[in-house]
Every structure is written in structure tokens, then in C-alpha cells.
Amino acid sequence: MRYRPLSSEVYIQHRQALSKELKPGFFAIFNSNDIMPTSADGTLPFKQATDILHLSGVDQEESILVIFPGASNAAHKEMLFLKETNDEIAIWEGAKLSKEQATALSGVKTIYWLSDFERVLKTLIAEAQGVYLNSNEHTRASIEVETRDIRFGKWFRSTYPNVSIERSAPHMHRVRSVKHAEEIEQMQNACDITKAGFERVLKMVKPGVKEYEIEAEFMHEFLSRGSRGFAYTPIIASGFNACVLHYIENEDTCKDGDVILMDVGAEYGNYASDMTRCVPVNGKFSARQKQVYNAVLSVMKSATQLLKPGVMLAEYHVQVGELMTEQLLNIGLLDKHDVEKQSKAMPAYKKYFMHGTSHFIGLDVHDVGLWHEPIQAGNVFTVEPGIYIREENLGIRLENDIVILENGHRDLMGHIPLEAEEIEDIMNS
């Protein structure tokens, strides 16, 4: 395995946390992702569904996890159903998990082959009060393909039309939002790899370099350190491109006098990092570029201090908006008249800072979490304010990943160069 998985004890604890959320007499079913086709006989790289990964560590297609805390048969309280390996599969694809390996990885003692699933399911239905089915209920999800969980849900409703069904997604959002210490260390590994990539890039950026050449340097460093690559599609945006929030073409030439916005992060062991840094193409910020840069940095530092247990995220984002308004006034992008005539629905700062400041991060870069409940220790957030001035061809965003502690926070990217002068010194060393 390319990465070091979490200990089986972590997955056992994750399942115990979910079990406490389930109604008495109900069991929950989680499916792996599919291997998605491209065209001809091509496929995309496999990416495991993060719920089954969180609960079992099984990073393999055609897998099903069943959790039934109240099962009369102790062997049926937790079960994994896996694709049965054979010599031909081992030759063409590589061997799949054996039953012994699956137990060692997940801590689940009862392992069946997938061919046994429907037979075992009938015995569970006979004694159950109902079932929890899983689906992707992320608030920003836009799903046009039929996932394995959705396909299974259709089959289950058709086969067992009278069985009571509950949603597992709200409960998974709760249990996944608080990270175990081993999960945080996995995220720290991803951040360390991201740091190495950024420091590599700082030494090669110069006028005339292509955005995709910078992307390639990050990828080289990520892969060489055990990452499978980017945790999300990277943004390497120079000049005006930085004012396009989801610019991913990475195809332009970096010009003397421009600033490059780099929103990149390595994954490690399926856990994401998410970093944004801005650097001057020629190694030296202009006075105006540094003024805007330091305004964003000031908001970033103040926003980080606001993230603490008990805070509601909606209130936090209002406070960050006030911080940004103050900085935009200081650098001349807003005046008092702009602020006086603003509305609550469209505050004046939104002209230059259009997106949110923080999101949950974990197995998914935009991870699931409880937006309607107070922040708690163990949550992990990004902090990523930005100022985008289209008329000046300048976009500045800065972003670190922050773990919430009972008293304070831990910055997983606190060791990555951030101050403008520090970046200039490294680029010119």
C-alpha cells in the first residue's frame, strides 16, 4: 500500500460512534464507489466513497459494510462483504483483500464474499425494525451519475418495499466532523507534503514559466513523497486568472509584474490538505500588491482566532465580513458611503470578497460537518479570505488548515511560508 492506513482501533471507534446514533433494531448499509468508465475500455482512477472508508478503512471497489448493533447473532453486528479474489484477478489487477487482511485493517471480524450478501441480508431483515441507507447529502453536491449507494437504494426499496428506511447521512456528518488524533496526523502528513511542493515551486517560478509547469512541479513532489497527487483540481492562476475563483485551465504564461495565486493541496491516505499561497512572478511584490497581500493576511490571522468551540459558523462569517470591510476601507477599495448604503443580504465587501472564509476538511476537501451546530474541538477548517481586484489584474487569497482545540487551535500549515517578506527571501535566495 502506498500510504500508511490508520490503526484498526480508529475504525472500531468510528463504528461505535455511529452505532450510538442508530435507532434500536435498525442496521446501516454502506457501499463503496464504482470504478467509473471513461470511453473504450478506459476507467478513471478509483476513489473510495468516504463514508465506508471512514468506518472501515477498506479502500477497494465492490465492498459493502453492514452495522447492526442489535443483531441477535453477535457475528452479524458488524460485517464486511468483499469482492472475492482469484488467480486471474491477481494477475490482471493485483490481489484484492483477503478475509484476514480485511479484519486486520478494519477490526471487523465477520467477513463475507459479496456473493453471500443477499442471503445474509434476508436474515437481517427478518429481525430488524428498519434500515439506514446512505447517500451523498453534501450541501454543495451536484450529482449527475448514479452512484453505487443510489443504485443499491433503488434495488432495496424495490425488493423490500415494506421495510422502514432512515437516512444515514445526517449521522455520518456528525461522527465524521470530529477528527480522531490519527486522522489529524494523516492530514498533517498531507500538509507536510504540500509544504515540500510549495518550497520546490518557490525556487523555479520566474517570468515566462507556464502555469502548468508549476502544476507539474507540485505533482512531482507530491508523488515522490507517497501522495497519490492533488486532493482536488489545482488552481495555478497568474495575473487576471486569479480573479476567476475556479480557474483550473492552468495554461497561461506567468508574466513579469504579475502575482500567481496557487490553490493546491496534496492528499495522503485519502485525507486532504488545502493551501492557497500567492507569489510574485519576478520574486518581488510591488507596493500595491504587498498592501493587498497584507490586508488579506490580517483578515486570515484574525479569522483564525475567531474559530473556537461554541461559535456558530454563520456568526463567524459575519464577523469575518466585518474584518474584511475594515481592510477594504484601509486600502481604498471601499469608502464610508459604500458601507452606509450596503444591505444585509449584499454587504459592500462582497464586491471584492465573494466566497466563504472556512469549510470543513477531512477525507473530502469540502468535508461534511454540522453547519447548524456550534463548532467543537476536533473540527478541522480551512481559513481562506481573499481580495480580487479585476481592474488591477490582482487576486490574493491565503489559506491554511486549522484544527479546533478545547483551548485554542493547531495550524497544520503553520510551518509553510506565509509572510510576504519570507516568500520574497526564499524566491531570491
Give the pLDDT confidence score for residue 222 in this predicted structure: 98
C-alpha cell read off for 189: 502528513
Give the pLDDT confidence score for residue 410 in this predicted structure: 98
Q: How far apart are CA 381 and CA 359, in angstroms?
A: 5
Give the pLDDT confidence score for residue 94 in this predicted structure: 78
Domain layout of the chain by residue ranges? 8-177, 181-427
Q: How far apart are CA 399 and CA 419, in angstroms?
A: 12
Q: What is the mean pLDDT of the chain?
A: 96
**CATH number of the domain located at residue range(s) 8-177 in this protein:** 3.40.350.10
Give the pLDDT confidence score for residue 89 in this predicted structure: 79
Give the pLDDT confidence score for residue 315 in this predicted structure: 97
**Which residue pairs from 92-98 have beta carbons closer than 8 angstroms and sit at least 24 positions apart in sequence?**
96/60, 97/58, 97/60
- Of 136-150, 220-234, 345-359, the least confident: 136-150
Instruction: Give 160-213 pLDDT, tens digit per residue.
Output: 999 999 999 999 999 999 999 999 999 999 999 999 999 999 999 999 999 999
**335 has a pLDDT exceeding 90:** yes
Task: Name the phi and psi angles at 279, rounded to 5.
Answer: -135, 145
**59 has a pLDDT exceeding 80:** yes
**pLDDT category, 239, cuts 50, 70, 90?**
very high
**342 has a pLDDT exceeding 90:** yes
Give the pLDDT confidence score for residue 423 in this predicted structure: 98
Residue 283, amino acid: G
Average pLDDT, integer, range 285-297: 98
Instruction: Give 398-411 pLDDT, tens digit per residue.
Output: 999 999 999 999 99
The alpha carbon of 429 is separated from its chain's Cα centroid by a whole number of angstroms, namely: 34
**pLDDT category, 157, cuts 50, 70, 90?**
very high
Give the pLDDT confidence score for residue 67 in this predicted structure: 98
Instruction: Give 68-107 pLDDT, tens digit per residue.
Output: 999 999 999 999 999 998 778 777 877 899 999 999 999 9
Q: How many other CB atoms are there within 10 angstroms of residue 363's CB atom?
A: 23
- Which residues are 408's β-sheet partners? 405
**44 has a pLDDT exceeding 80:** yes
**366 has a pLDDT exceeding 90:** yes
Q: Are 84 and 105 in contact (CB under 8 A)?
A: no
Give the pLDDT confidence score for residue 144 in this predicted structure: 87
Instruction: Give 411-427 pLDDT, tens digit per residue.
Output: 999 999 999 999 999 99
Q: Per the confidence metrics, is the pTM higher than 0.85?
A: yes
Give the pLDDT confidence score for residue 85 in this predicted structure: 81
Q: How far apart are CA 190 and CA 222, in angstroms?
A: 9
Q: How far apart are CA 106 and CA 57, in angstroms?
A: 6
Can you spell out the DSSP letters for 168-227? SHHHHHHHHHSPPHHHHHHHHHHHHHHHHHHHHHHTT--TT-BHHHHHHHHHHHHHHTT-
Give the pLDDT confidence score for residue 2 in this predicted structure: 82
Instruction: Give 117-155 pLDDT, tens digit per residue.
Output: 999 999 999 999 999 999 999 988 888 889 999 999 999
Average pLDDT, integer, range 368-393: 98
Q: Which CATH superfamily is domain 181-427 in?
A: Creatinase/methionine aminopeptidase superfamily (3.90.230.10)
